[in-house]
Amino acid sequence: MNKDASPKAMAQSGSLLGDGKPGATRVDLEVIAGMVARGAKVLDVGCGDGALLQLLARTKQVDGRGMEISQLKVNDCVAKGLSVIEGDADLDLFDYPENAFDYVILSLTLPATHRPREALENMLRIGRRAIVSFPNFGHWRVRAELLFKGRMPVTANLDQNWYDTPNIHLCTIKDFVELVDEIGANIERGVALDRAGAPIRVNAPWWLWNLLGAQAVFLLERDRPREE
């Protein structure tokens, strides 16, 4: 199973920041961009306003495509020159053939899907690798809010009330690693991010990552029996 998914492997992924211009870019997007090989073919599922696709085009010269559920954002992306379609991660990933992309990215969208497992399996079907980032529901602040206030947490990364949030399938880093194991994929790299979105570079045991990471970014690889 995921031998690489050790905290050590996560800590080693420190030198991630792309050579993109500093400032405007969200740090977590730079972490994702750091996992993508130059010139790769990439699908960004839930690409929003296209910030990640633009970053990838600028710093990694990728052949980037996007899927976004909001038509207004799609139109905005296409007007910026990005190759984007309206689509839903739960429904429209089925249209793509196997191995259509080098990377399929799901940035902070996983908890909003109706069937996260199916979405993940589809990503690893149409892409050789998948990159998934999500807010960690195991973060100590989240736990503290539940424990001491007895209410659904509202934090920097989970900034909406339970009745407003699109997130319906929240999970912890530990939960996610278990799901990856269950669908038989490999974790090539994992990074926990602090509240500011910067990678946590200390070496720490698993339970600590799950406690300290406000977000996590995972680079997954499909388990292939004997290919290549």
Partner 1 sequence: MSIASETLVRAAVDSAAAHGQIATFPPDRPLATDGGGLIAPLTVAFETYGALNAARSNAILLCHALTGDQYATSTHPVTGKPGWWDAMVGPGKPFDTDRYFIICSNVVGGCMGTTGPASTNPATGRPYGVDFPVVTIRDMVRAQAMLIDYLGIETLFCVAGGSMGGMQVLQWAASYPTRVFAAMPIATAAKHTAQNIAFHEVGRQAVMADPDWRLGRYQEQGVRPEKGLAVARMSAHITYLSEQALQHKFGRKLQARSAPTFSFDADFQIESYLRHQGLAFVERFDANSYLFMTRACDYFDIAADYGGSLAGAFKGAKTRFCVVSFTSDWLYPTSDSRAIVQALNACGASVSFVKIESDKGHDAFLLHEPDFIATTRGFLEAAAAARGLERK
**What residues line the site for partner 1 (CB under 8 A)?**
63, 65, 71, 74-75, 77-86, 92, 95-97, 100
Sequence letter at residue 36: V
DSSP 225: S
Q: Provide the minimum distance between the beta carbon of 98 and partner 1 in the complex, in angstroms, as a whole number.
A: 10
Q: Provide the minimum distance between the beta carbon of 57 and partner 1 in the complex, in angstroms, as a whole number.
A: 9
Angle at the Cα of 28 (from 40 to 212), degrees rounded to 5? 130
Instruction: Rank residues 42 and 204 by Cβ distance to partner 1 and give the closer one.
Output: 42
Tell me the residue ranges of DSSP E strands in the chain.
41-45, 63-68, 83-86, 101-107, 127-135, 185-193, 215-222
Sequence letter at residue 114: H
User: Is residue 109 a contact partner of residue 48, using CB atoms and an 8 Å limit?
Assistant: no
Instruction: Rank residues 80 and 114 by Cβ distance to partner 1 and give the closer one.
Output: 80
Instruction: Rank residues 20 and 127 by Cβ distance to partner 1 and give the closer one.
Output: 127
Instruction: Rank residues 98 and 182 by Cβ distance to partner 1 and give the closer one.
Output: 98
Phi/psi for 160 (5° steps) reads: -120, 155
